[in-house]
Amino acid sequence: MMRIPMFEGSISLPQNPREAALIAENLEALARALREWPADTWQKVGTAAAAEPEGSSAGLFERLVARAAPAALDSRQRTQAVQSAEAAAGVLRVLWPTVS
């Protein structure tokens, strides 16, 4: 199956380990939402996102959810979005390891 990159661009965003961890956590939360939320929830999210003005003060997770909503309504695209979000989060965790 050919993978379509959806969230790989977020790998270039962080400027420090804290930002990388924050983005990775939000991508992992998005992947969980894509696996667990029913289609009617995604339909509502998509409708609400369309009404949201550009440059709103929504948080990172909310913006990721709004961007993923169209893909979440198609089972094949949803699977690809889950894989992309998980892969991008994993790469961020490798590139920006946290020191315990």
Instruction: Tell me the residue type at 34.
Output: L
On whether residue 2 sits in a domain, the answer given is no
pLDDT digits (tens, 9 = 90+) for 33-68: 999 999 999 999 888 877 776 666 678 999 999 999
3-state SS, residue 98: coil
Q: Residue 3 gets which letter from DSSP?
A: -
- For the entire predicted model, the pTM comes to 0.84
Mean pLDDT score of the chain: 87
Q: What is the 3-state secondary structure (H, E, C) of 4-66?
A: CCCCHHHHHCCCCHHHHHHHHHHHHHHHHHHHHCCHHHHHHHHHHHHHCCCCCCCCHHHHHHH
On whether residue 22 sits in a domain, the answer given is yes
Domain, as residue range, for 48: 16-95
On whether residue 10 sits in a domain, the answer given is no
Between these two residues, 14 and 3, which has the higher pLDDT value? Answer: 14
Please tell me the total count of domains within the chain: 1
